[in-house]
Amino acid sequence: MKIIELPIEFEFNGQKNYIYPSLIILNNDLTLVDTGYANFITLIENEILKSGYKMMNLKNIIITHYDDDHIGSLYDFKEKYPWINIIAIEIESKYISGEMKSERLIQAEEMLKTMSNSEVDFGNWFIQQLKNLKHISVDEKVHDGDMILDDKCRVIATPGHTSGHISLYFPSLNSVITGDAAVNEKQELIIANPNFCLDVDNGQQSLRKIKNLKAETYYCYHGGKFSL
């Protein structure tokens, strides 16, 4: 069993950006953690293939939370590879499936009311991005503490960024996939953009929770791999 990060390069506002979805390899099965923005499926496929793996072996996609940079291409993956098992914590599944309006969209609409004129265009664009998301049902709903992937991976509730955010702990690898519970900024683990954190106090508690695991490696979606 091993975990590799998939560096996905893209341009935003004329600047080069990266996200780092994780790929878990267990026996011959692949599990992707988070799917990037809409239309990122080809970028992620290319990185998986470049790493020497085959898309036919992609068995699961785990979603850490419902933000558009994490579920944007989920619908496309399921449409192209219908056998994929989509895994998410039950709290987040209602937002991923579109059964309920997402907390992030509610937050964005509230923030728009107090934005300056120079910020309104971005605010409207961001709201539209969230409304354009293609929703899809979750196949396997998990809970805090559940052991998944042949009991090699423990689901850890790390709320704050969103109310149902999860991270993934791998005891045998002494590794954590953080989602947005932690970002790697200049080789330091910090909470993701506090302005988008729905509950900063919970976010700080969740950060302490995964730091207290004292893992050797933290796979951060933003900032990339952090090793002690």
CATH of the domain at 64: 3.60.15.10
Residue 153's pLDDT band (cuts 50, 70, 90): very high
Distances (CA, A) of 37 to 8, 76, 166, 173: 11, 11, 19, 28
Distances (CA, A) of 133 to 6, 62, 79, 130, 217: 22, 17, 14, 6, 32
pLDDT at 137: 98
Residue 195's pLDDT band (cuts 50, 70, 90): confident
Residue 82 to residue 152: CA distance in whole angstroms: 24
Query: What pairing do the DSSP bridges indicate for beta strands 183-184 and 58-62?
Result: unpaired
> Shortest CA distance to 30 belongs to which of 64, 53, 6, 63?
53
Predicted confidence (pLDDT) at residue 13 exceeds the cutoff of 90: no
Q: What is the pTM of this model?
A: 0.96
Cβ-count burial of 56 within 10 angstroms (0-12 exposed, 13-18 middle, 19+ buried)?
A: exposed
- Which residue is it, tokens 């944007």? 72
Which structural domain, as residue segments, surrounds residue 167? 2-227
- Report yes or no: 81 and 129 within 8 Å, Cβ to Cβ: no
- Which residue is it, tokens 């519970």? 181
Predicted confidence (pLDDT) at residue 205 exceeds the cutoff of 90: yes
- Report yes or no: 7 and 20 within 8 Å, Cβ to Cβ: yes
Report helix, strand or coil for 121.
helix
Number of domains in the chain: 1
Q: H or E stretch including 59?
A: strand 58-62
